[in-house]
Structure 1
Amino acid sequence: MKLSLNWITLRVRDLEKSLHFYHSILGLPIERRFVSNGKQIVMLGSAGQPKIELIQGNDQILKLDCGVSVGFEIESLDAAIEHLTSQGIPIERGPITPNPHLRFFYVLDPDGFEVQLAKHSQSGAFQDNNA
């Protein structure tokens, strides 16, 4: 059996706030927006990549301490930190360098879900200033 990830669903309280965070601040493109069973749904992500599905509804929202986080690869940790802080998004944790090939930090989305922004290095030497 061969699997490939299609999407990760986040149930959100305020779709417009979440859409602003994931689309306007993080830069994920909107693939489509629609209503299903009375719920507003937005699929975000680049063509050929797994999507983030945001659903606004009256269902129970996932508990924040459930261990779910969403991770993205970025080109520069320093540029991402500068961009996010300029948008009023505080760095929740990090930057963390668990090994010579990986650095990352966390921010929180409007519902408090952890979003990890990571930079991998093949050489083990990071180009960012905070390395």
Structure 2
Amino acid sequence: MSDKSEGALLGAIHHVALIVSDYDRSRAFYHELLGLPIIAETLRAERQSWKLDLALPGGGQLELFSFPAPPPRPSSPEACGLRHLAFRVGALEPVIEHLEQHGVAVEPVRVDALTGRRFTFFADPDGLPLELYETPAC
């Protein structure tokens, strides 16, 4: 490999994997509330674990895993590791309204100082920060 910029080695993100504390609650949140279609759902009995593959628009996937008594992950203050997952939306208001109608707290809308785009945060059932990032052309 040369030092010349011949393109990235990596393509788009294939999947993001989350370990959840309550499989049924997280399945309902991501599939029913957020509307992500199920690709596959597998019981891995030898590991006492479920694996749920959900489709993301654009071809990526979100994988949910359950394990008996997973340890909590620190998220605040800014812990090292995954900071948040961001989902592109065409308009914030309809998504915010949908979430709030289902009892999900959404932070006030902010504007990205670097891009001028609007965004907001909410949390999944385990407190993982999720971002809605407005890109009107999506």
Q: TM-score scaled to structure 1, two decimals?
A: 0.80
CA-based RMSD of the aligned residues comes to 2.1
Q: Which runs of 5+ in 1 are unaligned?
A: 123-131
The structural deviation recorded for 1:121 is 4.6
Counterparts of 2:58 and 2:135 in 1: how far apart (Å)? 21
2:9 aligned residue: 2
In structure 2, how many angstroms separate the alpha carbons of the residues matched to 1:60 and 1:101? 38
Amino acid at match of 2:125: P
C-alpha displacement of 1:52: 1.1
Distance 1:46 1:10 in 2: 14
- Corresponding residue to 2:112 among 91, 95, 98: 98
Deviation at residue 69 of structure 1 after TM alignment? 1.1
1:31/1:13 CA distance change after superposition, 3 Å? same
Q: CA deviation at 1:72?
A: 0.4
Corresponding residue number in structure 2 for 1:128: none
Task: Output the amino acid matched with 1:64.
Answer: S
1:25 to 30, 33, 44: 33
Task: Give 3-state SS (helix, strand or coil) of 2:97's partner.
Answer: helix
Report the equivalent of 1:41: 51
**Could you tell me which residue of structure 2 aligns to residue 54 of structure 1?**
64
CA distance in 2, matches of 1:111, 1:12: 7
Write the deviation string for residues 41-90 of structure 1: whole angstroms up to 9, x where unpaired: 10111475221111000243433333531110112101111111001101
Which residue number corresponds to residue 115 of structure 1? 130
State the identity %. Answer: 26
Matched residue SS, 2:104: coil
Q: How many residues get paired?
A: 121
Structure 2 stretches lacking a partner, 5+ long: 1-7
The answer for the alignment partner of 2:93 in structure 1 is 78
- Which one has a bigger Cα radius of gyration? 2
Distance 2:43 2:60 in 1: 20
TM-score (norm 2): 0.77
- Aligned equivalents of 1:48 and 1:113: distance in 2? 22
